[in-house]
Amino acid sequence: MLSVRLCTSIVFIGCANLSYFSSLRYRSMPLRNPLALLGLLSVIPLIIVYLIRPKPKEMLFSSTIFLREGEAERSAVLSRLIKDPLFWLQLLVLCSLSMAAAGPYTVSLQPSQSHLAVVLDVSASMQASFSQARDAIEPYLQGYQKISIVLAENIPAVALQAGSAQEARDVLAKVLPKAVSADLSSAMSLAQGLLGSEGGNVLVVSDFISWTGENPEAARNLVEAGGNGVVFDKVSGRKDNLAIVDGWDVQGLRFVNHTCLVHNFGPTRTVTLTAVGPGGSSSRSTTIPQGEDFYLSIAAYPGLNKISLQSEDAIRWDNQAFLLVPEMKGIRALYLGEDAPALAALNSLPSLTVERSGDIESFNLVVLGKNASLDGKLNRYIDGGGRAAYLAYSLESPEFLPVKVNGEAKGPANLWVRSQGFAEDIHFQEIGLFSYLDATARRRSTTLVEANGAPVLSYWRLGKGLVVYDGLEKDSDFYMRPEYPIFWYQMVNWLTGVPKISDSNRKTGEIVPLGESTAVDAPSSTLTTATLLLDEVGLYRFSGKSVAANMYDPLESNVAEGASYPAGEFKPSSGETVAEKDLSGWLMALAALALAIELAIMRWRRET
């Protein structure tokens, strides 16, 4: 009997699958897949099973039973069919599953345009009024079936799509402003896309102090042209703010001379400025009048340096600035050749060990001076990933150079900078070059500085290595200039992979591509990403590297009264829309309940 029932279920499944694929083309109301009702044909084999009589058995009985007066009795099979509860349970299962496959649903009319898209400004200036922004949104959440939330930052993001009012409240409770600007127009366009063809209303909550992209009013006109309503809700908070709005560096040999600019956007006040770093700590108090600037300069040593304003005001992020000075760690250089100004410059560099002999493979950098001996080991060193700097004194032209030396040219010659490259802030145009080697750049080489068309400072990558050609050493006054040691400091850092100070210090809002999914320790959290958005002030660590991010945005720090726009209005509901409610789940639940009861009866009868 159990195997017969299994066959019945297989027949039903086959019919249901046939009806499902047929229903992909034909649909009608109120069933999504009317041909799925063919599954009801599975009732026929169920009835046949119960009509089949069991195999007769031989029994002994008295012959007088034929003398009993007979009565008309109901068929035993028909009686079993009516009285057996398993039959009705199995019939209910088959009918429920067939109806569920047909996809029944109910239809009701509901108000249209019941979708609200909230554009919330989460830029740095909103830190002064973010609690007011949350409170401003709450009254608008009632009366809408769907709520979407778009966070307006430099790259707008969707925080909630077509959620409920309670889901919107939960999201808003977790959202915080970030140390970036806001692209309100792009956020409004994104909100319009979330509304879709059905349309709806857009609520923009902002202080309207500053923004990137198009003017918010122009963006509103575009959204309204699409048939949507737009309301601007302006919020405001504290108006007093002291801020570090800029910073710049002058590279030295052992430290960086860092200067930061502090501006007072509020009333006159006295503030304490503190600087902490590897070189120690210091602090001073000063009075900054309203609308005035104050400059603070510090000696920033290799490592992380921090400048803080001891101030309670509208925005917290612009009260601190970080400066990460890259550090040479355990770099060994091999200098070959006669003594020269370059050797003195190398010896003056901090954290750099300069040696005159040794196994070439054990050094991070090889500097080839005047009359340096060259052999095959140098070629293998460069090809295997070594770094070399060649000081051009003679007419020799080794194959590993990025140029081909043709002869000697007389000066004086004016230098032309084609690319600063690693030598930032070096005034090559002021160098007096009295004679030089006439050379021709090889293919795939990069020329940084040239004299009368001949490269005098260039580099290229050879195999896995890197070679710099320096033709400024032969007959010039470069070594007498204060920039000369700094030039060597920058070259050594670049050749040995020490990042430039500009690469280690960024502004918030910038994007750092990481190439692949990477774990990042951000100032307040840990995340995994392939594209890092710097949206907090502080230090980011990833893949053995570090980057400091500072706000440096006077527009966001200026929390004076923002722009004023008409509030606008939402568009009322334009009628009613049809809403469908699927009933298949209830039918599936009914079938599951019937199956559970059937199994319980069979277990009670000991048929399993």
Long-range pairs for 253-256: beta carbons < 8 A, 24 or more residues apart: 253/348, 253/349, 253/350, 253/485, 253/486, 253/489, 254/301, 254/350, 255/279, 255/299, 255/300, 255/301, 255/302, 255/325, 256/299, 256/300, 256/301, 256/323, 256/325, 256/501
Ramachandran angles phi, psi of 365, nearest 5°: -150, 140
Residue 597 has pLDDT above 60, yes or no: yes
- Using DSSP's 3-state secondary structure scheme, residue 325 falls into strand
- Whether 111 shows a pLDDT value over 70: the answer reads no
**Residue 40, pLDDT score:** 81
Whether the pLDDT of residue 381 is over 80: the answer is yes
Give 371 or 467, the one with higher predicted confidence: 467
DSSP 8-state class, residue 385: T
Query: What's the CA gap between 451 and 438, in Å, rounded?
Result: 9
Q: Please, are residues 36 and 105 in contact by the beta-carbon 8 Å criterion?
A: no
The answer to whether the Cα torsion of 282, 286, 289, 294 is positive or negative is negative
* CA distance linking residue 410 with residue 368, whole number of Å: 23
65 pLDDT more than 80:
no
Q: How far apart are CA 230 and CA 606, in angstroms?
A: 69
Identify residue 316 by its one-letter amino acid code.
Answer: R
Q: Can you give the pLDDT at residue 595?
A: 85
Q: Of 94, 92, 81, whose CA–CA distance to 10 is shortest?
A: 94
Domains delineated in the chain: 2-55+74-104+583-604 (no CATH), 111-237+569-577 (3.40.50.410), 331-498 (3.40.50.880), 503-550 (no CATH)
pLDDT for 103? 83
Mean pLDDT to the nearest integer, 284-309: 94
Nearest to 228 by CA among 114, 324, 385: 114
Residue 26: predicted pLDDT: 36
d(CA 176, CA 9): 56
**Between 103 and 286, residue with greater pLDDT:** 286
Res 12: pLDDT? 40
Angstrom distance (rounded) from CA 88 to CA 81: 9
Model confidence at 512, in pLDDT bands (50, 70, 90)?
very high
Q: How confident is the model at residue 5 (pLDDT cuts 50, 70, 90)?
A: very low
Tracing tokens 């006295």 back to the chain, one arrives at 270
Supply the mean pLDDT for the chain: 86
Judging by DSSP bridges, how do beta strands 454-462 and 446-451 pair with one another?
antiparallel
Radius of gyration of the chain (CA): 40
Does the pLDDT at position 10 exceed 50? no
The answer to whether residue 341 scores a pLDDT higher than 80 is yes
Residues 121/91, Cβ–Cβ less than 8 Å: no
Give me the pLDDT at residue 7, please: 40
Q: Note the pLDDT of residue 16.
A: 40
Among all chains, which residue has been given the structure tokens 């949206």?
535
> What's residue 28's pLDDT?
43
Task: Tokens for 313, please give them.
Answer: 């005001």
Tell me the pLDDT tens digit for each residue of 199-225. Answer: 899 999 999 999 999 999 999 999 999
- 95-109, 382-396, 414-428: least confidently modelled range: 95-109
Q: What is the pLDDT of residues 263-294, one digit of tens each?
A: 999 999 999 999 999 989 999 999 999 999 99
Q: Which amino acid is at 73?
A: E
- Name the percent of the chain lying above pLDDT 90: 60
- H/E element holding 490? helix 483-495
What does pTM read for this prediction?
0.67
Give the integer Cα–Cα distance in Å for 380 and 326.
Answer: 30
Using DSSP, state whether 360 is helix, strand or coil: helix
DSSP string of 406-467, one letter each residue: EEEEEEEE-EEES--TT-TT--GGG--EEEEEEEEEPTT-EEEEEETTEEEEEEEEETTEEE
User: Between residues 79 and 124, which one has the greater pLDDT?
Assistant: 124
Who has greater pLDDT, 541 or 83? Answer: 541
Whether residue 558 has pLDDT greater than 60: yes
Token pair, residue 402, equals 């990025």
Q: Is the dihedral of CA 199, 205, 208, 213 positive or negative?
A: negative
